Structures are given as C-alpha cells and as structure tokens.
Chain A
Amino acid sequence: MNNLNRLYDEVIKRHNSQPYHFEKIENSQFSLRAYNPICGDRFDLFVELNDTTIYKIHFYGFGCAVSKASTSVMLKAIEGKSVDAARGICAQFLGMLKNELPENEILASEEFKSFVVVREIQSRYDCAALAWTEMEKYLSQTFYS
C-alpha cells in the first residue's frame, strides 16, 4: 500500500479530481496533443500567447490520474511565464523525474515533488512525463528552430 499512498498523494488526487483549466478551447491560438499510443492517454493543450508570454493555457482529454494531474500541475506552473522560462520549467520537471537534477535544486513548484515517486514506479514514468515532454518539444521546435 505504501507505493499507492505515495503515488496517489493529496496533490495528485486533487489535481485529478479538480484539474486546472480543464476545458476544450475552440480556435485557440496554438494547440498541441500529448498522446501515448501505448495506453491511449490523450490530452489536447490549448495555448494563448501574448508576445512571448504563455498568457493562457487549457487542456482537455482522457488519461489516468497521474497523467492528468501532471498536466494540470504543468499548466499552473507555466501559465504566465515567458516561453524561455516555461521551457526551463519543463526541463526541470523532466530532469527531476529522471533523477538528473542537482540535489537541493529549488523547484518551480512544491507540487512537483509529488511526482518524484515515479522514479521508483517505472511503469508510471510515462504518465507523469507525457504532457511535459510534448510541451518541451513544442516550445523548442516552435521558438528555437
């Protein structure tokens, strides 16, 4: 039971049942899809930019509690941030999941820590990383190529 309580902690449970900006936006400025063909989890992300700031971001779709909560946490963390900063936050979150961050690194959000547990539950790594990986790729390709 230990792993379960750690995986589904209060942060993940809360973001799963009350996800941040969980809404389908028609005609959004940019949209991207985070999709895992193996499990079928699929979230569409709707991004509104104001100059180079992620001014508003919503998501909608279907996925497990971990992938849904992780997407919700991501939206909260990068909304209002510049593209540069958002990209850094994505790299930080993914680095944290992969155990590649220096110790004592100050995380952009305390809530990130709830996902550290997937280091030990490998089968759920992809769930936690799904939207972040896609967002990092999107930001890199769209703004840095």
Chain B
Amino acid sequence: MGVSLTGIKQLFPIFLDKPQLVFLDNASTTQKPASVIQTVTEFYQHENANIHRGLYELSSNATVRYEAARKKVKDFIGAKSEKEIAFTKGATESINIVANSFDSIVNEGDNIIISGMEHHANLIPWQQLCIRRKANLRVIPVNQQGELILDGLDLILDSKTKLLAVVHISNTLGTINPIQEIIAKAHQKNIPVLIDAVQSVGHCMFNLADADADFLVFSPHKMFGPMGTGVLFVKEKHHALMKPFNFGGGAIREVGIHETIFMDFPHSLEAGTPHVAGVLGLGAAIDFVNNFDLKESSDYTNRLNSTFREKLQAMNFVKVIGQPKKTGSIVPFIVDNIHPHDVAGFLAEHQIAVRAGHHCTQPLHEMLGLQATVRASFSIYNTFDDIDKIIEGLRELRKFWL
C-alpha cells in the first residue's frame, strides 16, 4: 500500500531503455516491472528445478513457491480456496478448458449464452462446442453506444441454458459490463456464469466477493506478469465437471495400461511441466499490484481514460467508437479518411504504440459497421504527457495526409 504512482515508469526497465516510448497498447499486454523480470530470471539462475517431483531442496522449494503463487492468486481475486485456482497457458486456454468440460453436459437443443462483444477467445470455444453438441449459441446484443442490451436477458436464459459466458471489460470498446446484475439474473435460474476478466483484474477492483462468478479467467501478462501463464478459477461446486484438457504426467492419481484415475481440480488440469517461472512471475506481479492502492491506481487510469476521450472528442476529424456510460481505460477510435493501420503506422514512427485492426472482435466490428479501429489503452505507468503526445501525433497525421 501507499507506493506512489509518480515515477512508476522507472520501475519498468523498458522505459529506461526506451525513454521515448509511449506505450498505449496495454490491452494487448503490459510492460513488465523489474521485480517480475527478476523473479523469472532468478528462478532460472538460482532456483531451477521441476515441481512435484524431486526430493531435493531445489525441487521442494520450487513446489512450495509454485503453490504459494496459487495462494496469492486466490487472495488476489477473493476465491475461497486455492483449490479453485488452476494455472494454464493463458486465458484462451482457460476458456477452452471450460468449454471442453461442458461437452459432457451440453446436449442437442441446449444453449450457451455469450454477448456480442466477446473476444474471439470467448466466442469460438462456445461456437465450436455448440456445433459439436448441436446446441444453440445465443447472443446478448450490443447497442450503438457499445453497451449490452440486457432487456431480453431473462427471455433467453431458460431451462436449456447451460452457461452464460461474458466479458467484464470489452477489449475493444472498453465498456464495463454490469456483471453483478448479469450473474444475479443467471443465478436466479441456477445457470453458471463464466467471466472473462482479462481486461479487468489488476486494472480495477475485481473481487469474487463482489461478483459471484462460477468461472473466471485472466491473463497475467496483461497485469505486468509474464506471457505464457494463465489463470482459471472454478468454483468448487463445479469441480466434478472439470475434465483434464491435456493428458499426461502430473495430473494423475493412478495409471494402468487401460485406464487412468485423474487427480482432482486443479491438478487434473496441470499435466506436464507447468510454466513454473511464469507462475512465480505472476506471484511477483500480484505483489507489484498490491504495492499500490487499487482505488488510487484505478482512479488514475480512469482520469487518463476520460481526459483522452475528451481530447479526442474535441478533434473534428476523429470519432470515438461507442459511448458506453462506464468504460475501462480502453479507447477505440477512427480518423476520417485514414485507415487505422496508417494511423497506427504513423504513430509508430513517433514512438507511440497503439493497436489497429479488429482486435479479435470481428463480429462486434461487423455489427458496428467497421472493418477496423485504432485502439489506445492505458496502464498505471502512462502519463498525461503520453496523452499530449498521441494527440499531437494525431494532429500531425492529419497535416501529413491533407
């Protein structure tokens, strides 16, 4: 608590290496603080051993630290037990694991509900599950403001609904969805809910005590942690449903030639050697985030977000896409007559990193009548100076193309 946000850039080696870098692609991945990089490096340098296997000190230490990271994740998201936390390769794999497990209970005529603003990672696994099981994929529509239209939710949640999977903060529009309300409606009918919290955990307050999700996925690399690790939270009452995703060592209790008895969740999901260094790095990322007052840091990124939105709206050649009432620090926009890639390419020459394209939400773009957008997204190390630079960059872009 209480570490100041001022000067925070200095905790990230990449900004010491590239002081001119204006990094506004945080929704893709955040930069890594020295403490996370060091944790990963030191593991390989001084502590490397496989977990759950060796009786020697290095191995048992690695196991203890790996399991300690699980507890950190549990505390961080407010889960009841560390048994509810599985480590995966990433949020995409986490969702695929859940979809794979639902195979056994989704039958012809059943349905799964998602929203029209899902990332492909929270769309395709359900779409493919529905194709495999001859089930229906129902979609909560999105209005032109970029908000979910929840009026009809009660109608589409029915006795055939096996799961509702929805994103907390849209990776494209920045919309913060009212997940408490959505979860409450689904739970009234005993329908479990999966929350894609990839853009929320670490950026704003997110706690399972506030939002009673049955399944929750997130990607540590979007909250200062290493790439290649992911988290899957599964509420204990659904553990019996969870099927192993990869078969192999480490996830088994007993193996015969013709049958295998698997371990319980979460170990049943962690076959093979896990990304131990990555998980320890995730632990360091949680420690890093916990250094800050979460309210203070989310207030700060909210101010960056609203300042940038206001400045964009004051420019007559720029259009901000969607006007949701509540947004995370993600801002999609287009520039009159200039393709998003030419915008991003121009800004790149000014050391400003933004994303251009469909951001893995093609159906949403289609619904909005757009092929692509430019997206700027903020993290706690961004500054108001960064905003001035991108605004200036957009003015120059305009001059350049006129």
Instruction: Report 25 cross-chain contacts, Cβ distance below 8 Å, ordered by A residue.
Output: A1-B349, A4-B345, A7-B345, A8-B342, A8-B401, A13-B401, A39-B357, A40-B362, A40-B365, A40-B372, A41-B341, A62-B339, A62-B371, A62-B372, A63-B339, A64-B340, A64-B341, A64-B342, A64-B345, A65-B338, A65-B342, A66-B341, A66-B342, A68-B339, A123-B345
Interface centre among B345, B348, B358 (most CB of A within 10 A): B345
B275 shortest CB reach to chain A, Å: 26
Q: Are B358 and A40 in contact (CB under 8 A)?
A: yes
Cβ A39 vs Cβ B342 within 8 A: no
* Chain B contacts for A38, CB-based, 8 A: 357
Bound Cα distance from A7 to B358, whole angstroms: 23
Q: Assess A42 versus B349: contact at CB under 8 Å? Given A65-B342, A127-B341.
A: no
| B393 nearest CB across to chain A (Å) | 11
Would you call A3 an interface residue if the criterion is a C-beta within 8 Å of the partner chain's C-beta atoms? yes
Known: A4-B345, A64-B339, A66-B341. 15 other contacts (CB 8 A): A1-B349, A4-B346, A7-B345, A8-B342, A39-B356, A40-B358, A40-B362, A40-B372, A42-B371, A64-B340, A65-B338, A65-B342, A121-B345, A123-B348, A127-B341
Expressed in whole angstroms, the Cα–Cα distance for A38 and B359 within the complex equals 9
A3→B350 CA distance, assembly (Å)? 11
Q: Chain A residues near B358: list those with CB within 8 A.
A: 39-40
**Cα distance A64–B341 in the bound complex, in angstroms:** 6
Q: Which residues of B contact A (CB under 8 A)?
A: 338-342, 345-346, 348-349, 356-358, 362, 365, 371-372, 400-401
For chains A and B in complex, what number of residue pairs have CB atoms within 8 angstroms?
A: 45
**Residues of the A chain whose Cβ atoms lie less than 8 Å from the Cβ of B341:** 39, 41, 64, 66, 127
* Residue numbers in B under 8 Å from A3 (CB-CB): 349
Docked pose: A31 CA to B220 CA in angstroms: 45
- B338 partner residues in chain A, CB cutoff 8 A: 65
B358 to chain A: closest residue by CB: A40
What is the CA–CA distance of A64 and B344 in the complex, to the nearest angstrom? 10
- B residues within 8 A CB of A68? 339
Complex contacts, A56 vs chain B, CB 8 Å:
none
How far is A127 from B342 in the complex, measured between Cα atoms in Å? 11
Bound CA span A38–B341, Å: 12
Alpha-carbon separation in the docked complex, A124 to B341 (Å): 9
Which B residues are CB-close (under 8 A) to A41? 341
Residues of A within 8 A of B339 (CB): 62-65, 68
Contacts of B362 in A (CB 8 A): 40
